[in-house]
Structure 1
Amino acid sequence: MTTIRDAAYGLLRRHGMTTVFGNPGSNELLFLKEFPEDFTYVMGLHEGAVLAMADGYAQASGRAPLVSLHSAAGTGTSMGVLANTVQSKSPVVVLSGQQVRSMVGQQIMVASTDAAQLPKPLTKLSLEPLSPKDVVRSLAEVIHTANLHPKGPTHLSVPYDDWEHDADANTELTVARDVLDATGLSEARLAEIVDAIDASRSPVLVLGPEVDATDANEHAVLLAERLGCPVWIAPSPARCPFPTSHAQFAGLLPANVAGIAELLSPHDLVVVLGAAVFRYHHDRPGRYLAEGSRLIQISQDPSEISRAPMGDAYLAPVADTTARLSETVAVRDVELPARAVRIAGIDRADRMHPDTVFRTISEIAPVDAIHVVESTSTAEAFWNNVELCAQGSFYSAAAGGLGFGLPAAVGIQLAQPHRRVIASIGDGSANFGITGLWSAAQHDVPVVFVVLRNETYGAMVSFGRRLDVEGAPSFDLPGIDFVRLAEGYGVTAESVATEAQLRDALERALATDGPVLIEARTFHA
């Protein structure tokens, strides 16, 4: 007889969810019993690192991985990174182990009280089946919900004795179901957008992470070239939707109201594709949009559309709409102004400027390299120096917290084994996900980790200056030896302090088949 566990693995297999990221506890053992040979279990030493690896894997592969966590303790520990999967719209399915069904109400050891409520604010759907017979259907529901746009994390708590029950005759019907996503805009609605673009004097494109997530980058380039307009990336980008080397790339919009309004003010039409309007951060208030300008937003996220404070919006698949617009709008002949030349930062005797680190990485990295970045204080240096050309070439934390970057790079490399991942991580950020190094070593995942060691929380220093904060505790991080930390986890490592040393270290790292960490000694500019 087929058990609930057997049926669950059959469902996971049908959806291509054969990679499981986990940190196991006693409640998970009956689910992991007789683990199928065609599945891969990637273990992490900390639940946050586990979820970040799965987040990276989901984004880079476009497939939903399963994350196996232990009751309330494991799920709760992962929630800092779970917040990132919400903003990155990662279709991650979290399966948490619950105590035996008959004793949950007694709140015995490792039972999760109101298990579905714990991660509910950070998930699209969180469930606990009311009976063993409903486990497979509930698992199917969270899988389908995670994969429907807007994609995002879901959660299912399962009492561990449920896995041993027999499945009934209806289970195979649940496993066999297909759920199809929405199609596209009607011709009439598309024509409205085309008419608005063609009638505009000076349109501008603002692209968001959903362009990259839906493989629409090439269509975005075609659309921009037909319009001859500048292209901005929406603020605080988690992905790169447009080639940074393209002549029409204007840069990143700042994360504040006044700054965005000022940069977009020359344009009478702002077309926002696959981005929220807008993800502000710094407090520079003002009018959202210049007088005489109109904004049109195209998103496949109803929440993103509903909460926007301005503009007209169309709920539609981003890739399909971008492709159709690129074939339909009128072609313009526009000459764009030359880009401003920026002066690079200067190194010190024993430490590099961040510009040097990122310029060197860009020069040595393969053309199709994937860059994972979590170094908040050096974001400007990264975007000024690193060229991103191919789809899926950039990933960064989407929620503003730390702990995504280092382990996410491991998941991204697992999802894209034919491209090389280079993870540029700040020394403050690295400590939040440092255990990801162990998983990289155990699975021989060839990520090149570059830890920018400036020995301070640089972003906090910068914010302190901006907010005129005096008398705060020190944000310095002295005495952390990342070479010894990495070697302790089984990863080859070395420390560098000059451009020449960094160049040699990168070339050696890219010539190896396993993970390497380079500690790049920098200063906070």
Structure 2
Amino acid sequence: MAAMVTTTARRIAHEFLERHGLTTIFGNPGSNELPFLAELPAGFRYILGLHEGAVVAMADGYAQALGRPALVNLHSATGSGNALGALTNAVASRAPLVLTAGQQVRSAMGIEAVLTNVDATQLMRPLVGWSGEPSCAADVPRSLAQAVFEAQLQRRPAYLSVPYDDWSVELDANAVAVTDRSVRLGQQPSEAQLADLVAAVAAARNPALVLGGDIDAAGLFERAVALAEHLESPVWQAPSPHRLSFPNRHRLFRGVLPASIAAVERAMSGHDLVLVSGAPVFRYHQHEPGRYLPEGTRLIQVTDDAGAAARAPVGTALVADVAPVFEALLHRIPARASDNAARFLANPEPATAAEHSGLHPEQVFAALRETQPAETCYVVESTSTNAAWWRQIDLREPGSYFWPAAGGLGFGLPAAVGVALALPERPVAAVIGDGSANYGITALWTAARYRVPVTFVILRNGTYGALEWFAELLGTPDVPGTDIGGIDFTALAAGYGVPATAATDLDGLRAALRSPTDGPRLIQVDTAPTRPA
């Protein structure tokens, strides 16, 4: 009888990852992770970040831009803990991250030797959708496959802790069989469900569409435009959007819904039906009590996120793939006539700031709109300038906008690196407030190390502007800790190896934005303080 061919758990894992396109690894390694990283095949690339928070944010941007899982390698418990803040954004953006972490050798785990990840499967919960640790070395390949499939199916990060002595163990053909596995998800709505939804929309006197980031993530940007024009229906972006699912200067776009109960009620006034697609109902932020919806308004939610459907406080939900729902509405409801000729509206003249207070953010965003290619991907992390951003930017392409989905600072700089690595054919600009920039500043080193062509625009107003706005809302204007003046981001960028300049006027800003570059660059702009709305 012939002997079974054996190979190591590491080699099986590498082959599985390669077959599933997980050949880019974002990480910051420690000793426990080195055995997994040894003998990487030639087609793999390792993207080093200097802090685990930046590493996860890079992978978040990368996974969102590519639309498939991204692989992260963290160091035991400490590195995993450092990643938790960034992980909140990845959970909210439904980024399918596969987080791996090294564990102490099996014989040392019981005595909790240094670098043991105690109760490893509990550490990242409840953020991750699945967390595991192989029961033995033979279970490593299957456990890794489960982590990948859990992330893919749930569209939520999954976490796997692996004792580092497992990687060199030789396994038999049963372990190798996992490399051929694949898992697919289908959520086709039934004919009866489609008929009911079509009838409700067709009967509505004045329907409104509310679109969430999942529309863009699912590749339905253009179909959303077609549906809105077909129904001649006004469109709002769901509150606190992490992606944009409709052109923001389109004649049917009514803006981003404000993130409070009472404000949503006011915005939906006059609509007898609200169709929410690809978004929770709703991601409220500031507490402004009121009715969830105006009297007589019906809400229907269509989402493939069962959790979002289950926790919604109002309305009827259909848990299904949104694409066939859009197609049914497009083909089963007669088009509604429109006498509007222009599809897109002109941007208003940008506001200006008082003398000697820097540029108004609207001037900065207008300069970006005027100088950057239409297909530019913008990664934005500047809460206090939201109103100015939506007044001046003009986004007409899918995948043009990324934002920290959970509001966790430190996303913008590293996520822009991840987006640029995923989409080398598209220009990438990061628009970051000075308060936010400090949380992810180490990403500049990674951008320089791998020559990632990102334009980093730092809006420097010396304050946590959004926090000052919120202090006004809460009636606590005298709180400390909102002043962060005096930081020179051009010097920080130079230290990390990124060419940088300070633009002191509008002409200088435009010239800097127009200058060609084949790598990263940073432009610091002093701006006047503004409020989100």
Q: TM-score, normalised by structure 1?
A: 0.97
Which residue among 89, 95, 98 is the counterpart of 1:93?
98
Residue number among 58, 69, 76 corresponding to 2:74 in the alignment: 69
**C-alpha displacement of 1:334:** 4.4
Of residues 431, 446, 452 in structure 1, which corresponds to 2:438? 431
Counterpart residue number, 1:444: 451
Whether the 8 Å CA contact 1:22–1:44 is kept in 2: the answer is yes
User: What amino acid does structure 2 have at the position aligned with 1:326?
Assistant: L
Question: Deviations for 1:475-515, whole angstroms, at most 9, x for unmatched residues?
Answer: 1112111000000000000001211111001011xx11000
Which secondary structure state, in structure 2, belongs to the residue aligned with residue 372 of structure 1? strand
Shift of 1:340: 11
Shift of 1:323: 3.0
Match of 1:344 among 345, 350, 356: 350
User: 1:286 maps to what in 2?
Assistant: 290
2:365 counterpart (358, 369, 372): 358
Tell me, what secondary structure is at the counterpart of 1:240? coil
Q: 2:408 aligns with which of 383, 397, 401?
A: 401
- Aligned residue runs from structure 1 range 122-201, under 5 A: 122-148=127-153, 150-201=154-205
SS at match of 1:174: helix
Match of 1:248?
Answer: 252
4+ residue segments displaced more than 3 Å: 334-344
Kindly state the Cα deviation for residue 336 of structure 1 after the two structures are TM-superposed.
7.1
Verify the 8 A CA contact 1:298 1:315 in the aligned structure 2: yes
Q: Which residue of 1 aligns with 2:52?
A: 47
2:210 paired with 1:206: yes
Q: 1:512 aligns with which of 506, 512, 517?
A: 517
Q: How does 1:273-422 map to 2 (within 5 A)?
A: 273-334=277-338, 344-350=350-356, 351-422=358-429
Contact 1:219/1:326 (8 A) holds in 2:
no
Cα distance between partner residues in 2 of 1:514 and 1:248: 38
Which residue of structure 2 aligns with residue 219 of structure 1? 223
Identity of aligned residues (%): 50
Matched, 1:14 2:11: no
CA distance in 1, matches of 2:499, 2:108: 47
Partner SS, residue 488 of structure 1 = helix
- Compute the RMSD of aligned alpha carbons: 1.5
* Alignment partner of 1:232 is 2:232: no
Matches within 5 A, 1:439-478: 439-478=446-485
Mapped to 2, the partners of 1:221 and 1:472 lie a distance apart of: 44
How far apart, CA to CA, are the structure 2 residues paired with 1:347 and 1:318? 43
1:183 shift after superposition? 3.6
The one-letter amino acid paired with 1:319 is A
Aligned to 2:226, the other structure's residue is in SS state helix
Q: Report the TM-score when normalising by structure 2.
A: 0.96
Which shifted more, 99-108 or 462-471? 462-471
Q: Which amino acid aligns with 1:345?
A: A
- Which residue in 1 is equivalent to 2:3? none
**Counterpart residue identity of residue 40, structure 2:** F
Q: Is the 8 A contact 2:468 2:477 kept in 1?
A: no
- Answering whether residue 495 of structure 2 is matched by residue 488 of structure 1, we say yes
Give the match's secondary structure for 1:297.
strand
CA distance, structure 1, for counterparts of residue 180 and residue 76 of structure 2? 29
Q: State the AA in 2 paired with 1:63.
A: R
Matched, 1:271 2:275: yes
Aligned letter for 1:362? R
Amino acid at match of 1:328: R
In 2, the alpha carbon distance for the partners of 1:193 and 1:146 equals 30
Partner amino acid for 2:121?
Answer: A
Query: Which blocks of at least 5 consecutive residues in structure 1 are unaligned?
Result: none
Q: Secondary structure at the match of 1:270?
A: strand
Aligned to 1:108: 113
Number of paired residues?
522
Letter in 1 for 2:491: R
CA distance in 1, matches of 2:478, 2:524: 31
Tell me, in whole angstroms, the C-alpha distance in 1 between the residues paired with 2:15 and 2:87: 26
2:123 aligned counterpart, secondary structure? coil
Deviation at 1:301, TM superposition (A): 0.6
Deviation at 1:128, TM superposition (A): 0.7
8 Å contact from structure 1 (residues 226, 331) kept in 2: yes
Q: 1:337 offset after TM fit, Å? A: 12
State the distance in 1 between where 2:257 and 2:384 align: 16
**Shift in Å at residue 172 of structure 1?**
2.6
Query: Residue deviations 1:277-305, cap 9 Å, x none?
Result: 00000111111011111100000011000
In the TM superposition, what whole-angstrom CA distance separates every residue of 1:256-296 from its partner, at most 9, and x where no partner exists?
Answer: 01111111111101000000000000111111011111100
Contact 1:248 1:336 (8 Å CA) reproduced: no
Query: Does the CA contact (< 8 Å) of 2:350 and 2:366 recur in 1?
Result: no
Q: Could you report, residue by residue, the CA deviation over 1:19-45 in whole angstroms, capped at 9, with x for unpaired residues?
A: 000001000111111121100100000
Q: Which residue of 2 aligns with 1:118?
A: 123
CA distance in 2, matches of 1:325, 1:438: 48
- What residue in structure 1 maps to residue 61 of structure 2? 56
